[in-house]
Amino acid sequence: MSKNLVIVESPAKAKTIERFLGKDFLVKSSFGHVMDLSKKDLGVDIENGFIPEYEVSTDKKKVVTDLKKLAKAAETVWLATDEDREGEAISWHLVNALKLDESKVKRIVFHEITKTAITEAIDHPRSIDKNLVNAQTARRVLDRLVGYELSPLLWKKVKPALSAGRVQSVAVRLIVEREDSIKNFKVSSSYKITAKFHIKKNGKDGLLWADLPSRFKTKEEAIAFLGNCAAAKYTVADIDTKPSKRSPAPPFTTSTLQQEASRKLGFSVANTMRLAQQLYESGLITYMRTDSVNLSKMALAMSRDEITSLYGKKYVKTRNFKTRSKGAQEAHEAIRPTYINNQNIEGDRSQKKLYELIWKRTIASQMADAELEKTNVTIDVSTVPEKFIAKGEVIIFDGFLKVYIESTDDENGEDHEGVLPPLSVGQELDFESMTATQKFTQALLRFTEASLVKKMEELGIGRPSTYAPTISTIQKREYVEKKNSEGFTRDYNQIVLKSGNITEAVKSEKAGFEKNKLFPTDLGIIVNQFLVQYFDNILDYNFTARVEKEFDEIAQGKKVWNEMIGEFYQPFHSRIEDTQEKSRKFSGEKLLGIDPKSGKNVFVKLGKYGPMVQIGDTSDEEKPRFAGLKKEQSIDGISLEEALELFSFPRQIGSYEDEEITVGIGRFGPFVRHKSAFYSIPKDDDPSAVTQDRAVELIEEKRKADREKIICEYKENPEVKVLKGRYGPYISIGKNNFKIPKGTVPETLSLEDCIKISEDPKNAPKKRFTKKGKK
């Protein structure tokens, strides 16, 4: 048995460290937190100073019993969890869960996984920092109180099974408000003037582009300006050349990796993290959940060597980057290749691409600045006071640009910056044409998953380990959905001056197309409206930053953690109770207008089964009429006409095989009903335009599909069938379905085989609402 037991958080880390420490040390991992607040109820004793009720998490029972055994046998237990608030708490929880004798416990920390760093740490152990643990307790208790008191309020006032929390609710708010700002954006336009000149470039005919720095508000002004230029001479008045520099971006953190993988490779945040985890577990990259831009000394030395051997010494420039993000805890290194001399790796396509991205970013961060030369050429027009400017940029020394260029979120790039032809002051230019183009102002872009992470990081909400899960939570709760904005086409004016003539044209362009963007749903909008109205303090973008400051004070021993929680909780809880009593059910009800037929009010709101329209007040003697919205409609955007149209369902549209056909709109979208059977109407069909012929088509299509579904039928028992389903063949008996055991050919099944399979308990149909082994 080993004399020394070292406990870290991650098993992959444990494996590496064990190699450095030799046979007297056994290195194991805790797999993250081992204790958490009781799941059943609040888990916090409000009456007695907010004492947390911690217990070993169900999925960590085995880890804890295993570690307990090993700890008992060891002389010294080294707690080597991360050096931050959460890591300190994990160590403290280990002491409690493993019932460790504090005299044989040593707390150590290291920021990089190298032999020197680890032996250094072993030489300088300390004890557990209780202040830091208290700060974590405060964080944990606050999040529990907020989440577990706000969520039930939503269940009562809006809809069951909803959720709210310090992080997710602010993330939703960002998306809702971005959508608002896009909806309320007032487009304006102006005219941009560009002139083109004939020029010789390297002996060949070429063009020189120059822009007018200011724009004209109206078409008339633009036309007038072009008219004034018709007979002008153009002369180079000034050439101004300035050297400039560009520096590389710091190495990747979780957030910047997610952003670049999204922009450059089109990966979702979850996908990026899954791939990074695989690379980490194969020992190819360092830890992927980090907020640090720091590289170890060893990494710096490796990249120096690599850059020198690939590009030469003058491309090397070692840098130490400082973190800019709020609340960074920097327990790890930046994300980098473990071995920087490995430019490529074995793996699948996506793994290779992500690795390559990490490699390039790391290498570039330690390379020389790029040296540029920027030139502004001022061009005089003989007939007007305005001057044109031609811009050029030349790379003198490429430096880090050789390997990596960081991308940006907005793709506005129609500038003509590049190499300018040789020009001299006083030179007269050969005019080709001048164009005035109508340009429109643009609303903010919607968030992508990755740009939302960027914003969250700026606000200091969420942590590297929670960015991806938070984004999936707000989508799972249906507050937000990821989709494309189709955009629209619009006309713009273009006026051209060429050979002394002015011509006008109307052209059209596509605008507003956005792919894979986050849109708020009706539910998200309503829940946000409710929370902002009653809990503006928690939904405040600075709430986290403020409490973080207090957590820091707790960590420094300047503040008592449960006093801080008490100060927060008293007013918060009374707001909860007030809202509970005073506010009515919150449905986001909106008055759309008056129904011309009945003269009654028409409302749109969120009902029990989703968005709906209501004609008449609930308090009226006559009951109101209701109709659900179509899937593509929203509370936010529906018009009175569209709302009234929904009341034309269900309606008869003809008959077939001597039975009526009706069209209706149900919970699962529009449908055709015939002989008590239902046929769903595809998304691109307008239900109000479905005719008898189209309905018959749909009925026949479905019948044909059903016929093809049947693999085996049995005359002796028509209840039993072998069918082809979405997930492959299965046996259907009455209302129950059974899967077919592996290795059986469905076509060969006899009635007896089917019965036998159905009676096997291991094929029994699953209950619909089973909870999977919850963590």
In the range 580-639, which residues lie near DNA by CB under 7 A? Answer: 607-610, 612, 618, 626-628
State which residue, 715 or 775, has the beta carbon closest to DNA: 775
State which residue, 159 or 196, has the beta carbon closest to DNA: 159
User: How many residues sit in the footprint of DNA (CB under 7 A)?
Assistant: 75
Q: Is 417 helix (H, G, I), strand (E, B) or coil?
A: coil
Q: In what order do the strands lie in the sheet with 669-674?
A: 651-656, 659-666, 669-674, 677-680
| Cα–Cα distance for residue pair 539/546, rounded to 1 Å | 12
Query: Exposed, middle or buried: residue 482 (CB in 10 Å: 0-12, 13-18, 19+)?
Result: middle
Q: CB of residue 1 vs DNA: minimum separation in angstroms? A: 24
| Cα–Cα distance for residue pair 480/472, rounded to 1 Å | 10
Which of 287, 404, 535, 543 touches DNA (CB under 7 A)? 287
Which residues does residue 288 pair with via DSSP β-bridges, in sequence order?
A: none
Structural element, H or E, at residue 138: helix 130-157
State which residue, 7 or 226, has the beta carbon closest to DNA: 7
Which of 221, 281, 432, 553 touches DNA (CB under 7 A)? 281
Span 4-33, contacts to DNA by CB under 7 A? 9-13, 29, 31-33
440 contacts DNA (rule: CB under 7 A): no
Amino acid at residue number 610? G
Which one of the spans 79-87, 120-128, 484-492, 682-690 is the region binding DNA (CB under 7 A)?
A: 79-87
667 contacts DNA (rule: CB under 7 A): yes
| Cα–Cα distance for residue pair 125/118, rounded to 1 Å | 11
Which of 22, 160, 596, 718 touches DNA (CB under 7 A)? 160
Which one of the spans 465-473, 526-534, 550-558, 635-643 is the region binding DNA (CB under 7 A)?
A: 465-473
Q: CB of residue 337 vs DNA: minimum separation in angstroms? A: 18
Q: Torsion-angle region of residue 327: left (phi > 0), alpha (psi -120 to 50) or beta?
A: left
| Cα–Cα distance for residue pair 138/44, rounded to 1 Å | 11
The C-alpha R_g of the chain, in whole angstroms, comes to 34
Q: CB of residue 290 vs DNA: minimum separation in angstroms? A: 8
372 token code pair? 């540029």
- Do 108 and 87 form a contact (C-beta atoms < 8 A)? no
Q: CB of residue 697 vs DNA: minimum separation in angstroms? A: 17
State which residue, 57 or 437, has the beta carbon closest to DNA: 57
- Do 171 and 448 form a contact (C-beta atoms < 8 A)? no
Q: CB of residue 617 vs DNA: minimum separation in angstroms? A: 11
Which of 137, 303, 470, 562 touches DNA (CB under 7 A)? 470
- Mind telling me the catalytic residues? 287
Other beta carbons within 10 Å of 614: 21
Which of 125, 421, 669, 746 touches DNA (CB under 7 A)? 669
State which residue, 79 or 612, has the beta carbon closest to DNA: 612
Amino acid at residue number 426? G
State which residue, 680 or 692, has the beta carbon closest to DNA: 680
Which of 686, 727, 743, 770 touches DNA (CB under 7 A)? 727
Amino acid at residue number 60? K
DSSP for residue 520: E
State which residue, 32 or 512, has the beta carbon closest to DNA: 32
State which residue, 160 or 426, has the beta carbon closest to DNA: 160
Span 512-531, contacts to DNA by CB under 7 A? none
CA nearest to 276, candidates 334, 193, 230, 320: 334
Which one of the spans 98-106, 145-153, 189-197, 495-503 is the region binding DNA (CB under 7 A)?
A: 145-153
Span 477-496, contacts to DNA by CB under 7 A? 477
Other beta carbons within 10 Å of 79: 26
State which residue, 36 or 550, has the beta carbon closest to DNA: 36
36 token code pair? 């958490």
Which one of the spans 140-148, 184-192, 505-513, 527-535 is the region binding DNA (CB under 7 A)?
A: 140-148
Site track 218-257 with DNA (rule: CB under 7 A), x = hit: ----------------------------------------
Q: CB of residue 42 vs DNA: minimum separation in angstroms? A: 8
State which residue, 437 or 528, has the beta carbon closest to DNA: 528
| Cα–Cα distance for residue pair 226/434, rounded to 1 Å | 7
143 contacts DNA (rule: CB under 7 A): yes
289 contacts DNA (rule: CB under 7 A): yes
Which of 599, 766, 767, 770 touches DNA (CB under 7 A)? 766
- Do 656 and 695 form a contact (C-beta atoms < 8 A)? yes
Span 29-68, contacts to DNA by CB under 7 A? 29, 31-33, 36-37, 39, 41, 57
762 contacts DNA (rule: CB under 7 A): no
Q: Which residue is it, tokens 């090397």? A: 316
147 contacts DNA (rule: CB under 7 A): yes
Span 323-362, contacts to DNA by CB under 7 A? 329
Helix 467-476 to helix 269-281 angle, to the nearest 10 degrees?
A: 140
Q: CB of residue 664 vs DNA: minimum separation in angstroms? A: 7
| Cα–Cα distance for residue pair 217/308, rounded to 1 Å | 54
DSSP for residue 26: E
| Dihedral angle sign, alpha carbons of residues 251, 255, 261, 264 | negative
Other beta carbons within 10 Å of 50: 22
Structural element, H or E, at residue 225: helix 219-229
709 contacts DNA (rule: CB under 7 A): no
Whether a cis peptide bond, with omega within 30° of 0, leads into 650 is yes
Which of 234, 479, 671, 738 touches DNA (CB under 7 A)? 671
